[in-house]
């Protein structure tokens, strides 16, 4: 596979204005927020702009706190024809991961190249990737262990005009432990034309199941290998965030399970980055591996 670092550029409803001093200054629609960023060990380039922020997140005695100024708790955003809700959460996130814009585009292209594919989105969170697939007439199964995340994903889908269900261009929502669901699908002989997963380093299922990426990812990849279609055009995407692994580690993990003959798939791996507006700097924001079957 090719080692390519993917960089998301600013769009109408998002831009990385500046970064530095272990923070980043971002605009989400009409509102500007400051969030922690451990990668940003450099100095800010536009210090005056930081005074414009409507909210800043910080950890106080182990608890996440937003200092707010003229900003709602949630508001609407869009990327192309996908609409979604941004929300200030107690874990510093907004429900939107801008570095994934390059993968949303890739996903849209993969779905368009197939005829009404079945797509599985594991650890689906707020569901923007699920919407991107459904917009291309995919039949999407969205799995997440969080009731709150699934509710947020449904809200985003409604805004984008996507229905819930099992028909083309719709999304089926599953509240379940991802590993249990995937292994059950493997036993059933289920097949998906595309699989997306964005696992956390640590998490818990709805019944207290423990997810530890170093222990659980091999089992998950084993199940995924058996449920991913072998037909040309089928695709796979693995994202990583805050797990402490390098892109090479993710690549070698994927290749150890999807080790078919050379030339049977085309793919890339590397860092995901966010470009600062009007600057050559960017903020590393994750890692990925993705491929499309060619034969």
C-alpha 7/C-alpha 98 separation (Å) is 10
Which DSSP letter does residue 231 get? S
- Identify the pLDDT of residue 168: 85
In a domain, 271, yes or no: yes
Residues 125 and 73 in one domain: no
Residue-wise pLDDT tens for the chain (295 aa)? 999 999 999 999 999 999 999 999 999 999 999 999 999 999 999 999 999 999 999 999 889 999 999 999 999 999 999 999 999 999 999 999 999 999 999 999 999 999 899 999 999 999 999 999 999 999 999 999 999 999 999 999 999 999 998 888 999 999 999 999 999 999 999 999 999 999 999 999 999 999 999 999 999 999 999 999 999 999 999 999 866 899 999 999 999 999 866 668 999 999 999 999 999 999 999 999 999 999 8
Which residue's entry shows tokens 């510093």?
92
Output the CA angle 7-11-14, nearest 5 degrees. 95
Residues 21 and 149 in one domain: no
Residues 188 and 235 in one domain: yes
Residues 42 and 120 in one domain: no
Residues 103 and 75 in one domain: no
Residues 6+ apart with CB under 8 A from 25: 16, 17, 18, 19, 32, 33, 34, 44, 46, 49, 50, 53
- Identify the pLDDT of residue 295: 85
Residues 50 and 117 in one domain: no
Residues 73 and 102 in one domain: no
Residues 119 and 216 in one domain: yes
Task: Give the pTM.
Answer: 0.96
Which residue's entry shows tokens 């990849």?
221
Domain count, the chain: 2
**Residue 60 sits in which domain range?**
10-87
Q: Is 57 helix (H, G, I), strand (E, B) or coil?
A: strand
- Identify the pLDDT of residue 30: 98
Asked if 270 and 3 touch (Cβ cutoff 8 Å), the reply is: yes
- Identify the pLDDT of residue 261: 66
C-alpha 262/C-alpha 179 separation (Å) is 29
- Identify the pLDDT of residue 20: 98
C-alpha 293/C-alpha 229 separation (Å) is 9
In a domain, 4, yes or no: no
**Positive/negative CA dihedral, 274, 280, 281, 287:** positive
Residues 83 and 103 in one domain: no
Residues 131 and 265 in one domain: yes
Count how many Cα atoms sit within 13 Å of the Cα of residue 248 in the half-sphere of its side chain. 0
């Amino acid at each position: 596979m090719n080692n390519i670092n993917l960089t998301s550029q600013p769009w109408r409803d998002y831009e990385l204005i500046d970064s530095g001093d272990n923070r980043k200054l971002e605009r989400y629609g009409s509102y500007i927020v400051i969030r922690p960023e451990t990668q940003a060990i450099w100095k800010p380039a536009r210090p005056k702009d930081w005074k414009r922020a409507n909210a800043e997140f910080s950890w106080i005695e182990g608890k996440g706190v937003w200092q707010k100024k003229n900003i709602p708790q949630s508001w609407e955003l869009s990327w192309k024809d996908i609409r979604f809700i941004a929300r200030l959460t107690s874990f510093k996130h907004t429900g939107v991961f801008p570095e994934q814009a390059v993968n949303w585009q890739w996903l849209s292209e993969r779905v368009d190249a197939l005829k009404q594919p079945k797509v599985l989105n594991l650890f689906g969170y707020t569901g923007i990737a699920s919407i991107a697939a459904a917009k291309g007439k995919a039949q999407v199964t969205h799995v997440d262990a969080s009731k709150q995340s699934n509710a947020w994903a449904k809200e985003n889908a409604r805004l984008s005009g996507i229905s819930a269900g099992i028909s083309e261009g719709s999304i089926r929502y599953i509240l379940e432990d991802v590993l249990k669901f995937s292994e059950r699908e493997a036993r059933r002989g289920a097949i998906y034309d595309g699989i997306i997963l964005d696992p956390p380093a640590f998490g818990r299922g709805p019944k207290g199941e423990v997810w530890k990426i170093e222990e659980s990812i091999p089992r998950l990849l084993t199940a995924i290998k058996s449920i991913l279609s072998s037909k040309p055009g089928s695709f796979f995407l693995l994202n990583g965030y805050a797990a402490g692994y390098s892109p090479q580690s993710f690549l070698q993990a994927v290749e150890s399970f999807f080790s078919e003959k050379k030339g049977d798939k085309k793919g890339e791996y590397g860092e995901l980055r966010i470009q600062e507006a009007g600057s050559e700097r960017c903020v590393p924001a994750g890692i990925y591996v993705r491929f499309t079957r060619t034969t």
